[in-house]
Structure formats: C-alpha cells, structure tokens
Amino acid sequence: MNPDGRRLVCDCPSPMVTRRLARELGRLAPPGLVIALTGDLGSGKTTFVQGLAQGLAVPPDCYVTSPSFTLINEYQGRIPLCHADLYRLGEGADLEAVGLLERLDQDAVVAIEWAEAAAADLPTDHLAVRLEITGEQQRRITLIAGGRHTDILLRDLAAEWRQDPFSA
C-alpha cells in the first residue's frame, strides 16, 4: 500500500451510484490492472465488481456474484475480468495455490475481494478500493493509486467523475 498515492474519495448514496463509479473505472481500465477491494461484509465489494464488469463490456447475461466458494470467477469482456474473493482463505492467503498469482501477470483485469488477506502478494502498482458503510444506502469509496499506472488511471477517473457525477 502506498499511503501517499493519489486518492479519489466518492460518497455513493445508492448501489446504483457505486456501480456507476465502477463502470466508469471499467471503461478506463487497462489490461493488467489489479484492484484490491477491502471493506466490511456487505459494504459493496461485489456490487462494485458488477459495475466494473459493465464497464468492461462483459455481456449483461453474465451476472456477477461473489465467488466465495469458487474463489475465482472469470468473465469475458473487452478485457477478461478475473474476480476473486479471499474471504474463506483468511490472512496470509496463498495466491499461488488458488491460481491467482498467474492471473496477476496476464492481460486481464483482476478484482480481489478481501484483498488484505494477500497484501504481500499484490503488485505495488495496484488500485486499492476501500469501502465504508456510512449509512443504510450510503457508502464512502476511497480509491488509492499504488504507482504510476494506477495514478494515471485515477487521474482520468477523477476527471470523468467530476464532469458527470449525476448521470444515470
């Protein structure tokens, strides 16, 4: 984690807005992007990945659900989306054993729920997405760039988000 990286803080007043933020990120996402999602149970990590899938042009009939039992789900879109959930693995998750390590080096977008379990294995230049429950329908989402590539991405996302924060 890079505490000094560029940050974007978004207060999302509904699941729809959370999905819209993530959809914009998906539109801008380059191959190889790693997104580390953290936040309490029910904070919206999977909801965020649903929006991400939309932005990556994953067909709408591929419904994104939490891969809690399969650990990894893959969806074909503009770029393949690899969606992992490390909740069941807990601290010190072995990404190699679950087959995730090899996906980090490929041309996919990799989104990892409960990413703190594998913090040591993540590339430095990943995008951290922290979700906080700030109300029944309200989530504060903080995106933090870990390096040069995610910094550029976050700059572009911030520009889009400020330009058009209320569109459907």
Ligand X SMILES: Nc1ncnc2c1ncn2[C@@H]1O[C@H](COP(=O)(O)OP(=O)(O)OP(=O)(O)O)[C@@H](O)[C@H]1O
Least spacing, CB of residue 118 vs Mg ion, in Å: 16
Interaction partner, residue 168 (Mg ion, ligand X, none; CB < 5-8 Å by kind): none
* Interactions with ligand X, residue window 94-133 (CB under 6 A): 113
Q: Which of 8, 12, 25, 110 binds ligand X (CB under 6 A)?
A: 12
How many Cβ atoms from other residues are within 10 Å of residue 42's Cβ?
11
Question: What is the arrangement of strands in the sheet containing 127-133, beginning at the earlier edge strand?
Answer: 7-12, 139-145, 127-133, 34-39, 109-113, 81-85, 72-75
Q: Which of 6, 10, 57, 66 binds ligand X (CB under 6 A)?
A: 66
Q: Which of 45, 83, 103, 130 binds ligand X (CB under 6 A)?
A: 45
Tokens of 109: 């977008």
Q: Does 46 bind ligand X (CB under 6 A)?
A: yes
In contact, 58 and 75? CB cutoff 8 Å: yes
Tokens of 78: 């503009």
Q: Which stretch binds ligand X (CB under 6 A): 7-15, 95-103, 142-150, 159-167?
A: 7-15
| Residues within the interface to Mg ion (CB under 5 A) | 45-46, 66, 113
Burial of 12 (0-12, 13-18, 19+ CB in 10 A): buried
Binding site for ligand X (CB under 6 A): 12, 14-15, 18, 39, 41-47, 66, 113, 137-139
